[in-house]
Structure 1
Amino acid sequence: MAGLAASFGSGAMTNTMEDVAENAKAIFIIGSNTTEQHPVFGTRIRQAVLRRGVELVVADPRKIDITEFATLHLRLKPGTDIALLNGLMNIILEKGYEDIEFVANRTENFEDFKANVMQYTPEITAEITGVPVEQLYEAAEILGNTKPAAVLWAMGITQHVVGVQNVRTCANLQMLLGNIGVKGAGVNPLRGQNNVQGACDMGGLPNVYPAYQAVINDEVRQKFEKAWGATLSPKIGLTVTEMMPSILEDKIKALYIMGENPIMTDPDTNHIRHCLDHLEFMVLQEIFPSETAAYADVLLPGVTFAEKSGTFTNTERRVQLVRQAVSPIGGAREDWTITAEIARRVLENGRRGVDAGAQYAGWDYSSPDQITAEVAALAPSYAGISFERLENGDRLHWPVKGSDHPGTPVLHVGQFTRGKGLFAVTQHIPPVELPDKDYPVLLSTGRVLYHWHGGEMSRRAKGLLEVYSQSLIEVNPDDAMKLGINGNRKVRVTSRRGSIEAEAWVTDRVPPGMVYANFHFPEVPANELTIAALDPIAKIPEYK
C-alpha cells in the first residue's frame, strides 16, 4: 500500500486480472509464485502464453512452476530486486526504450531517478544479483519493445526490509515504459488473502480511516467524529508487528485478535510466545481452536465464509458479494454481529461516551447491507457500491463515485491520483541477515499450493492432506550431497532464533546455498527461524 501510494497516490492493483490475461502482450512476474499462490489467475497467465503468445519474464530465486512457461527466467539472488530492476532500467535508458512523452508529461523527479539508475550498470547489476549480463539485456529488450506489458508481484517483493522501496522501483519501471493507465499493463500487486485489499480499504491500517482518509487530517477526523459521535485520536496507531514488542514494554495490556494466528504466522515465534505470555488479557475470535488459542482468556466462535453474507474486495479492487450457504453451527456467529454486540456493551456499561444522536453511533445493524450503506456514505471510493447493484450482477472496481458510476477497471488513466507520478530514488540494501560461517545457508519461507497460511482450514481437509501431508524443506541437490541427505531423511534447520526438523525435498527448485520452508504445519513452525526485521515504513517483516 505505502509504496504505490507514495508513487501514484493510491496503493492498489491498477488493472484487472481479466484485462492483464486478455490484453497484455508481455508480463513480468517478480516475487510472485503465481500458479501456487493465485492458481486461478496463474492458469489464465499460462493460457495467455500458450494461446496468445504472451512474452513472460519471471524473476525469482526458485524454479517455481510458472517458469516452465516463461520466455526468460531471471534467477536472481534473494533480496536483490532493487538492483535487478534498476539494472534493467539502466539498459532501457541506454537503448532508448523509455516512453519519452509519458515521462515528460505525467511524471516528476526523473533526472534524480535517472542519475541513480545510471550507477547500476549491467556488470554491477550482474555482480549483485547473479543474473548474467546477456539475460539482463534480453529482459530489457522484451519489456522495452513489447507493449502493453504488465508487472505482477506479491510477497516476494514486499516481505523485505526494503519492501516499500521494492514496490516503488516496480512503479518506476512501469512509469519509465509508459505502462500506466492503459489496458493490459499497469502495476499489479497480488494480495495474499481474499480480503486484504478490502480490509485495508476499510481502515485496517493504523494511519487511515476507510478509503485511505488520513488519521492526521483534521477535516477527515472531524467527518468521522460527526458520523460516529465519538472523539477520535489524531495519532497514528501501531501495526501488528509493532504491537507485539510493545506488550513487553507494558504499552499494550490487552489484545482482541480476529481470524489471525500469530503463533504460526508472525516472525520469531519464540518471541511471540513470550509476548503473549506477558499479556494481561486476550480475546480470540476464530473459526477453529488455533495454536494462538492456548493464550486466550476468551474465545469467541466466528463463522466460516460459507456461513455468512457480506462482501470481499479482492486483489483487483473488485467488490464481490458473498452469500450464506449453510447455517452457523452451535454458538458461532457472523463476525460483524459479534463486534457490534461488544461495541454496544462497551457503550452501555463502559466509560466510552458517544453522541447517541450521531447518524452511525448506535452499532445497531441488522444486516450486512446496512454496513455497506454506511461505507458508501463515508468512503468516497465506495460511494456508488450497494448490495442492490452487486445483486444485480454489476462488476464494480473502486473507485465507484456514485450510484450510476460504472467503476474503474483501470486506474490512473490520463492522470495519477496524486497528479503526476513520482519517480523514486531507490538503492540496493542487502538483507539484514546474510549467510556466514556459522549460518552458511539462506532461508526463504512461504506457502505451497495445497495449504494456506497457518493451515487452520486446509489442514482439516482430508483431500489436501492426502496430497501434501507434512512440511517439506526444499534443499538443492548440491547441498544435499554435501550434507549427506538422500531425500528420505529428516533435516534440522537452525537459525539464531530456533530450530525445526522436517523431511528434506531434494530439488533444483532452490539454488545452491538456499533452502525453502513453508509455515503451514505447527509441528514444523518455520517462523521459529525468521527474524523480526521490519521495513521502516510498512513494518512488514523480512520473511524472504
Structure 2
Amino acid sequence: GADPAVSAPLVSYTIKRAVRYKGAKLLVINPRETRLHSFAHLWLRLKAGTDDVLINGLMRIIIDEKLWDRDFVAPRAGSLESLEASLKRCTPDCVEDVCGVAAEYLRQAARLFAAANGASIVYGNGITQHLNGTENVHSLVNLGMLTGNIGGRGGIYAIPRENNGQGASDMGSLPDFLPGYQSIGNDHARRTFEESWGVALPTAPGLTALEMIEQAGEGKIKGMYIMGENPALSFPAPSLTQEILSSLDFLVVQDLFLTETAKLAHLVLPAASFAEKEGTFTSFERRVQKTCRAIEPRGESLPDWQIIQRLANKMQYDMPYSSPQEIMDEIRQLVPLYRGADMGRGVVYWPESNKDRSGTRRLYERGFPPGFGRFWAVEYRSLIEVLEDDYPLELLIGSALYQFGSGARSSRSRRLKAMMPEPFIEINEADVAQLGISPGEQVKIVSPVGEVVSIARVNNALSPGTLFMPISFAGSPAHELFGITLDPRSKSPALKSCRVRLEK
C-alpha cells in the first residue's frame, strides 16, 4: 500500500540500501508495480481492496505452521483464541480466490516474514484510504505482534503524504484529541488546557474535514477557515465540494498561492512558505526538526502563527507569543510527549528519555507492559466491487514522482512541470488494443459518480484491466471519479480505487 520511491524517497533509499548491502529481504504487497519491485525478494500482486484478507491469510499460515513468536505474544498480548477464530475462513486457497495471489506465494511470504530476525512493516495510504482502512491497519498490527516485530526489533511505520503530517496530528489536528493525543473526553487533560488558555473547551469530539463539507452541504455549517489545504481539488467529488464551498456565507482561506479553493474565498490571507519562517517539522519517526528562515516573507505574507495571533487579538483573545520558541515552550508545558523538545537543541525524538539527550529513538525498545498489546480480530468481509459490464476496468490513483498532492505547489515549478507537463492515464497495451485507443489520444474516464478527460499512455507494468492515474492535475482531477464515502471508524475517504470505463 505504499510507493516510497514517489511518496518518501529517503525511505525508499534506505530500503534499497538494506537490500543491497545488508542482506535484507524485501516483500512487496501492491497491486501496481513500483520502483522497489526490482529489489523485492517476493512481490504479492493482490487485487485492489483485498489487503485485510491477504494479511489475515499470512497470519493463518504463521499460526498453522507454528511460526508465531510465543515468547513475545504470551506475556504481552495474551490469548490467540479470538484472532484464530477470525482467521478460519482465510485459508491459502480462499486468499488466492479473493486476492488473486497464488497460495504458494502466500506461504512463501508468510514463512519469509515469520523467519526474519527483525522485520519492519512500512505502509502508506494505499491501505488506509478504503472503506475498511481501519481494519487493514489493525491486521498489520496483529501481524507485527504475532511475529514479535514491535518494540525491540522491527516495527510498523506509516508513511504520511505530508512531511509534517505527524506533527500536525501531534498538535491536536484530529477531531477527538487535544495536543499530544490526550482525549477530549479526559477531564484532567481538558482542564489543564482550559486553565492555561483561559477558555472552556468542548467535551465532545469535533468533525473531520469531510464531515464538515457534508454538514456545510446540509446548511449546518455557514462559514469555514481553511489553512494550507486545497479541498476544491484534493477532496473526493471536487465539483460537489466546490459547489458547497461556494454556498458558504463566509469562507476564509490561508495559503501560499491562489489555489482552486482560495479562488472561492471571500477573504484570502497570504501565508509565508517554509523558507520564510521558523518552526519545527515532525517526521513520521517522531523526529522533531527545527527549520530556520532563509529569506524574508514576500509581500504581505506572514508565518501562520502570526496570522492566527493577529486574528485572535482582533477577536479580543490575547495570544501573548513573541516567537516560535515561546510557542514551543508552551507545548513543552502542556504536551507530555514534547517535554524533551527544544528548538535550541536541534533534532530530538519524542518522548524524552533519561538515557539519551536526543530522546527516544525507538518506542518500546525493551517491550511494552504485559497486556498493553491486544489482538484485534478482523473478520473476513469482501469489499471488492461487483464487476459490472458498464465499468469493467479497475482504476488506481496516487502520487507521481514529479508532482505532489493536488499540485498547488509543484505545478508552479517550471522544472517539475517540464518533467510531467500534462495529465495522463496509464493503460496496459492489451487494453489499448482491445479498446482501439492510440497512445497520446484523449480519452474519457467514466465512473458511476463522475467523469474526467486525460491523455492515454501505455504502461505494461500494469495488469490488463487495471489503470493508473496521478492525482496532481487540476485539468484532470482524478478525485472527480469518487464520491464521498468514508471509513466508518477513521472517517478517512475511500480514495484509492474505483471501477471505470474508457470512452474515446
Per the normalisation by structure 1, the TM-score is 0.89
What corresponds to 1:385 in structure 2?
341
Q: How far apart are the structure 1 equivalents of 2:431 and 2:370?
A: 49
Letter matched to residue 326 of structure 2: Q
Equivalent of residue 364 in structure 2, options 412, 415, 427: 412
Q: How far apart are the structure 2 equivalents of 1:345 and 1:506?
A: 56
Q: How far apart are the structure 2 equivalents of 1:155 and 1:431?
A: 17
Which digits, 9 at most, give the CA deviation of each residue in 1:9-36, with x for residues without a partner? Answer: xxxxxxxxxxxxxxxxxxxxxx001111
What corresponds to 2:460 in structure 1?
508
What corresponds to 1:451 in structure 2?
403
What corresponds to 1:282 in structure 2?
251
Residues 401/365 of structure 1: CA separation in 2 closer, same or farther (3 Å cut)? farther
Equivalent of residue 114 in structure 1, options 66, 84, 88: 84
Q: How far apart are the structure 1 equivalents of 2:369 and 2:481?
A: 40
Equivalent of residue 89 in structure 1, options 47, 51, 59: 59
Aligned partners of 1:108 and 1:420 also within 8 Å = no
Aligned partners of 2:233 and 2:477 also within 8 Å = yes
Equivalent of residue 343 in structure 1, options 292, 295, 312: 312
Which digits, 9 at most, give the CA deviation of each residue in 1:149-187, with x for residues without a partner? Answer: 10000101111111111001000001000011124x111
Q: Note the 1:182-193 alignment, pairs <5 A.
A: 182-183=152-153, 185-193=154-162
Q: How far apart are the structure 1 equivalents of 2:51 and 2:93?
A: 16
Letter matched to residue 97 of structure 1: L
What corresponds to 1:28 in structure 2?
none
Residues 214/471 of structure 1: CA separation in 2 closer, same or farther (3 Å cut)? same
Deviation at residue 418 of structure 1 after TM alignment:
9.2
Equivalent of residue 535 in structure 1, options 483, 487, 490: 487
Deviation at residue 432 of structure 1 after TM alignment:
7.1
Deviation at residue 42 of structure 1 after TM alignment:
0.5
Which digits, 9 at most, give the CA deviation of each residue in 1:79-113, with x for residues without a partner? Answer: 00001000011111122210011110110352100
Deviation at residue 405 of structure 1 after TM alignment:
5.0
What corresponds to 1:397 in structure 2?
349
Deviation at residue 509 of structure 1 after TM alignment:
2.7
Deviation at residue 508 of structure 1 after TM alignment:
2.2
Equivalent of residue 327 in structure 2, options 360, 363, 371: 371
Q: How far apart are the structure 1 equivalents of 2:422 and 2:201?
A: 47
What is the percent sequence identity of the aligned residues? 38
Aligned partners of 2:328 and 2:342 also within 8 Å = yes
Aligned partners of 1:264 and 1:519 also within 8 Å = no
Q: How far apart are the structure 2 equivalents of 1:402 and 1:225?
A: 30
Q: How far apart are the structure 2 equivalents of 1:405 and 1:149?
A: 27
Q: Note the 1:189-200 alignment, pairs <5 A.
A: 189-200=158-169
Residues 275/432 of structure 1: CA separation in 2 closer, same or farther (3 Å cut)? farther
Q: Note the 1:230-269 alignment, pairs <5 A.
A: 230-269=199-238
Q: How far apart are the structure 1 equivalents of 2:315 and 2:218?
A: 26
Residues 103/260 of structure 1: CA separation in 2 closer, same or farther (3 Å cut)? same
Deviation at residue 396 of structure 1 after TM alignment:
1.6
What corresponds to 1:171 in structure 2?
141
Aligned partners of 1:488 and 1:504 also within 8 Å = yes
Q: Does 1:424 align with 2:376?
A: yes
* Structure 1 gap ranges (5+): 1-30, 349-361
* Structure 2 gap ranges (5+): 497-504
What corresponds to 1:352 in structure 2?
none
What corresponds to 2:122 in structure 1?
152
Per the normalisation by structure 2, the TM-score is 0.96
CA RMSD of aligned residues (A): 1.6
Which digits, 9 at most, give the CA deviation of each residue in 1:29-84, with x for residues without a partner? Answer: xx001111111210121121111121000000001111111011100000000010
Partner of 1:539: helix, strand, or coil? coil
Deviation at residue 415 of structure 1 after TM alignment:
4.3
Which digits, 9 at most, give the CA deviation of each residue in 1:225-249, with x for residues without a partner? Answer: 1111001110110000100010122
Residues 417/101 of structure 1: CA separation in 2 closer, same or farther (3 Å cut)? closer
Partner of 2:157: helix, strand, or coil? strand
